[in-house]
Chain A
């Protein structure tokens, strides 16, 4: 499968714990986006990378959230001291340099904070 992959698909954690999600974009896609989707809502932009550079962060991305893309390939999204309000689906998308308009989404990681 050469699509965007995300790991894990589901994560259940207790409030206060740290969690880390991974996204592997389509090979050679240089842009990578993170979105968060809560129940009954559309996805909301969190942050994006062009290669290894994090170029924009939403105000939704509080200081408990950090994202990295160290080698310009896979990316990780870490949430520290999780809160119940962090429960959501975290979606990753990537685009090639030749067509930055179309984003290819992964299956998402569903986070449940108890």
Chain B
């Protein structure tokens, strides 16, 4: 079974709006990462947040982590049509030797 569960499963927004995606997980983690996947392609690493961090920024991305609730959120500000993709959260579980456990993903559509 997969560790992370993203919410919503699909999100459609207008260009320029912000997109918020959530991820919940079940067990103790070393870090949580977000990846993007364009249709039929490999994954691109977006941002990593460690278990002792609460918030990180990278360009238009902001990720938060609440270990007490075992949840994370990814915010993409000022979205662009090029942000249209599937987004996955992945957890690096404690003692897992950095192998990642992925959720099912969120499909983001940004309308021009």
Contacts and interface: CB of A to CB of B under 8 A. Distances in A.
B2 A105 contact: no
Interface stretch (B14-22, B63-71, B74-82, B101-109): B101-109
A42 B104 contact: yes
A35 B90 CA distance: 13
Interface in A13-50: 31, 33, 35, 40-45, 48
A82 interface: no
Nearest to B43: A105
Interface SS of chain B: strand
A11 B40 CA distance: 14
A101 B104 CA distance: 20
Interface string A70-114: 000000000000000000010101010000111111111010000
B60 interface: no
A33 B100 CA distance: 10
Chain A interface extent, by class:
20 to 34
Given A40-B104, A56-B99, A101 B42 contact: no
A110 B90 CA distance: 21
A29 to B, nearest CB: 12
Contacts of B100: 33, 35, 43, 45, 103
8 contacts: A4-B42, A41-B2, A42-B2, A91-B42, A95-B98, A102-B33, A103-B100, A107-B41
Given A42-B90, A43-B43, 13 more contacts: A33-B100, A35-B100, A41-B105, A42-B104, A43-B88, A43-B100, A45-B99, A56-B97, A91-B43, A101-B92, A105-B43, A105-B45, A110-B40
Interface of B: 2, 4, 30-31, 33, 35, 40-45, 48, 88, 90, 92, 97-105
| 4 closest cross-chain pairs (CB), A and B | A42-B102, A105-B42, A105-B43, A107-B42
